[in-house]
Structures are given as C-alpha cells and as structure tokens.
Amino acid sequence: MEEKRKLLIETKDLTKKFNDVVAVNKVSIKINRGEILGLIGENGSGKSTISSMISAIHTVTSGEMFLDGKKYTPSSRMDAIDNGITMIVQEAGTIDGLTVAENIFLGDEKRFIKRGIVDGRKMEEEAKKALLSIGIEDIEPSATAAMLSFEERKLVEVAKAVYYDPELFIVDETTTALSQHGREILYKLIHKLRDDNKAVLLISHDLQELMDNCDVLTVLRDGNLVETISKDEFNEDRIKKSMVGREIKGDYYRSDYDGKCDGKVIVRAENLESDTLCDVSFDLKEGQILGIAGLSGSGMHELGRAIFGLEKLKKGRVTTFISDKESEIKSVKDALSNNIGYISKDRDKEALVLPASIKDNLVLANLSKMKFFITKKTEKEFAQKIIDDLNIKCSSMNQAVGELSGGNKQKVSFGKWIGNDSKIIIMDSPTRGVDIGVKTTMYQLITELKKQGYAILLISEEMQELIGMSDEILIMKDGAISGRAQRSAELGEQDIISYMI
C-alpha cells in the first residue's frame, strides 16, 4: 500500500485475567487509521475481552495501550467515548426499562440538562437525528427498548456509536444479530469510516464477511495472538487452520439431497394471524427440517414465537399431534408440556438464566426426562456430555452462564434442547456467534436429530445454512408465506431471495 497509514491505537502485552483464567495473554496489536482490522478466533479466544478493555468495559490486568502515541488509560466507558472509541457489544447493549433516546444518551444526560432537569424532548429530537443519520426511520426515540425487537435494539446501539463520531469503531459479532438490511447499514458505515481515515475493529465468525470487508486480520487462539494477515494474503483454509490449529474441512452441511419426508404431521399451524403474521399455515412432520427464510420484518422470528406460544395470536391455531394425541398450543406452558423446545435468537433474555450455572441451565429443560431419578450423578453426566460434545469452554459446569463468551452461551442455549424429550425443536438462529469448528458439530447434531425423527423448524438469516440443512424452505414476506423451495442440489440463494423482496 502506497498511502501512508497512521497508527491510531496500539496495545502492548495487553493481559486480562478473570480469577485464575487468563482470557487475554500479552496481546500486542496495532490499529491503523483508514483500516478495518478483523479479529477472528474460536469461541472464548479473547476477542470480546480485548475490545472490552479498549472500550473500558473491562479493566486491564496488565500491559499498556496507546492512543495516537499517548498512553491511554480510560477510566470509564464514557471516558473511552470521549477519547473517540465506541463499541457495539456482542450481547445486549441497551437497557430494557429506558427509552431509545435515554439509551442513546446514557451516561451523557448532562448535555440535555436545563435548569437542573433533563430536557426529554430535546433528547428525543437529538436521538431522532442519530437514528436518521444511519438511515433508520421506523424506530421512535420515545419507545422503551423492551418494546423493540432484538435487531432494532442492536440498531439503536449502532446509532449511538456513530452519533459520537468515533475515531475507532468496534463492532463485536453484531452482524449475525442483524438481517440483510441491518447488515447493509453497518457495512456502509464501516466503509465510510475507513474512507474518512478513521479505524474499525470488526469481530465476526463469518470468514467471508471478514475477507470481504477487512484490510488486515488478526487471529487469536486461547487468548494469544497467533498471527496478523494482510488482505493480499487472505486465504480461507489458511485462516481456518490458524484459528483452530488444525486442518478443517469446508463442507459441514448435510450431504444428501433427499428432501422428501414421509413422517407424520406433528405440528400444524393454521391461518395464524398476529400483529405481524398474516394467514400463515403449514405442516411440520416428524423427521423434517423445515427452514424459514425472510428479511427483517417478514415475520420469520414471530412465527417461531407463535409456535412456542409466545406470540399473541388474533386468529388461527397451532396444534401438535404427539403420540397421536391432539393438543392446541396457546401458551408457553402448553408448548413445554407438549415437549416443544425453543432456541431463541435473543439468548440472554429468552433462552438462558445468566446467573445460574451451566449445569442448571442445561438440566432445566430436561427435568422431565430425569424426574424419576434426579440424582446428582445423572445431572452431572448429562451436563458433562453436552459440554464435551459442543466443546463448551468453561472453568467447570458450575460456572455461571453469564461469565461465558458469547458463542459458548449460544452452545448452552442449543445444548439444553438436545438429548431432551422434545420431539419438536424450534431453532431461531441456532449457530449465531458460534465458531466454524462447533458449527460443524451442531449441523451434525441437527442431522442426527432429523434421523431420529425429531421435527425441526429452522429459522435463519443465513441463506447457506437454510439451503444446506432444510428439507423444504418456506419464504416469508410481510408476515405471509410468499414462496416454498424444496431441497435440491441446484437450489441457490437467488431462488430464495426472489421470494423475499
């Protein structure tokens, strides 16, 4: 590269310990202006911890940071923002009880204080500007965050981060929380920042996304920096190998192209109508993986919620036929007593009990299975098996789920429905934030469940995942089913996208 780059941030031997666990071990990285630096590494390799030290969410155990050549020791998140560093965190970064405007200006309310009180209207006007600046028109600044969808809350964070005009913009595993539309907003933003000679730190498990967007990639393994690779040396196999320390195969989806299912119908959705859904009907059969595709606002996530009894229906019914017994699902209680499992996209809010241990989270959904002999031993064996199968990185099964890295939380959320009595599992974005090694295991497990006769509703933003795993794909648009695609070797993304828009 001919153009002169200017070093914005440098870390020297940056280290973070959580009790005895060394999460980040003497990592030295350089982030240049005019560059998008990608961070990649397996779940628990230290990506979020490094970025959290730079943005002052975590304190530094040892090592140093330099900003524009001067020693940088941020005292608080707001201090980091004042130094030009903003971050979209991997987990929920908004507070439910506050409005959109209050979330955007959290910690910075002082700028709206007039005669001792916060001028709420002024704040909302400014929030509106922040949202519009990234092209978001349909989120109201006065709405409480709890009312928003997971994606909308992420976009509020994006608006906040950009509002403060960052020199360094850190994006931690955010794209998988967004739909195509949200992703495009984000890509446009990071490229604009790069063009404006600012810097971006992008964390993702999507290798293609990193190779498409980054100028340099830094690989981490077990808290250590493995190598830094520049764009002209990007190569998928090399990066994967560098991440996991061994060769991994590229094909991890189902290898068969037989989408026919002769299983009995086990879930029937008839004419579902809600605030979002519009006359949705389908059958899900035993041994079937039924994919659901759609853009944001298409109702795909709400459909999953409806089958689990979470979405308020105005019309229609969801019926299950387990062991030939017909039952209507009207609530989560009905869903649970009919052994329906649900992996929510919003894992922190809907799927996990964060303060509870890994073991308790895993066992929670399996109490019925173990109820005749809930001995400590069965629980432990069960939890240990899932921890091993999914390679959950933890200090012990008694560690609180809230302390795990994002991808490892996702594994717990996935694992709790596996090996369970549920014969029906709704999976909304099941591999969100999970590294490629474990994705392979998850896809194998899903295929195995199918063979055992489980019925799986696979809701996903990842087109390749849907095409690679589903027997049939229902495509949603404006709350209704707009198309169907059968499994075949020729099925391509474009065949599905054409029904989405």
Contacting positions for ligand ATP (CB under 6 A): 18, 21, 23, 41, 43-49, 90, 173, 393, 403-408, 433
Considering only the stretches 45-53, 112-120, 152-160, 303-311, report the one whose residues sit in contact with Mg ion under the rule CB under 5 A. 45-53
Closest residue to ligand ATP using C-beta atoms: 407
| CA distances in angstroms from 181 to 1, 277, 322, 501, listed in the order given | 32, 20, 38, 11
Query: Residue 21: which of ligand ATP, Mg ion, none does it interact with, CB under 5 to 8 A by kind?
Result: ligand ATP
For the bound state, the minimum distance from the C-beta of residue 58 to ligand ATP, rounded and expressed in Å, comes to 8
Find out whether 251 and 433 touch, Cβ atoms under 8 Å.
no
Name the residue nearer to ligand ATP (CB basis): 221 or 241.
221
Find out whether 80 and 201 touch, Cβ atoms under 8 Å.
no
Of the chain, the end-to-end C-alpha distance in Å amounts to: 39
For the bound state, the minimum distance from the C-beta of residue 28 to Mg ion, rounded and expressed in Å, comes to 20
For the bound state, the minimum distance from the C-beta of residue 67 to ligand ATP, rounded and expressed in Å, comes to 21
Apex 63 CA angle, 245 and 434, nearest 5: 35
For the bound state, the minimum distance from the C-beta of residue 203 to ligand ATP, rounded and expressed in Å, comes to 7
Query: Residue 45: which of Mg ion, ligand ATP, none does it interact with, CB under 5 to 8 A by kind?
Result: ligand ATP
Q: Does 48 bind Mg ion (CB under 5 A)?
A: yes
Query: Residue 128: which of Mg ion, ligand ATP, none does it interact with, CB under 5 to 8 A by kind?
Result: none
Residue 395's closest CA among 8, 21, 1?
A: 21
- Looking at 166, 297, 406, 415, which residue binds Mg ion (CB under 5 A)? 406
Residue 102's closest CA among 116, 122, 85?
A: 122
Find out whether 272 and 303 touch, Cβ atoms under 8 Å.
yes
Name the residue nearer to ligand ATP (CB basis): 18 or 257.
18
Number of residues counted as binding Mg ion (CB under 5 A): 5
* Site pattern 285..314 for Mg ion (x: CB under 5 A): ------------------------------
For the bound state, the minimum distance from the C-beta of residue 5 to Mg ion, rounded and expressed in Å, comes to 27
Query: How does DSSP assign 37-96, residue by residue?
Result: EEEEESTTSSHHHHHHHHTTSS--SEEEEEETTEE----SHHHHHHTTEEEE-SS--S-T
* Site pattern 86..105 for Mg ion (x: CB under 5 A): ----x---------------
Query: How far is 289 from 263, CA to CA, in rounded Å?
Result: 11
Find out whether 344 and 428 touch, Cβ atoms under 8 Å.
yes
Apex 468 CA angle, 464 and 471, nearest 5: 125
What region, left, alpha or beta, does residue 48 occupy, with left being phi > 0 and alpha being psi -120 to 50 degrees? Answer: alpha
Closest residue to Mg ion using C-beta atoms: 48
For the bound state, the minimum distance from the C-beta of residue 437 to Mg ion, rounded and expressed in Å, comes to 15
Name the residue nearer to ligand ATP (CB basis): 48 or 296.
48
For the bound state, the minimum distance from the C-beta of residue 411 to Mg ion, rounded and expressed in Å, comes to 13
Cβ neighbours for 346, distance < 8 A, ≥ 6 positions apart: 92, 150
Contact footprint for Mg ion (CB under 5 A): 47-48, 90, 405-406
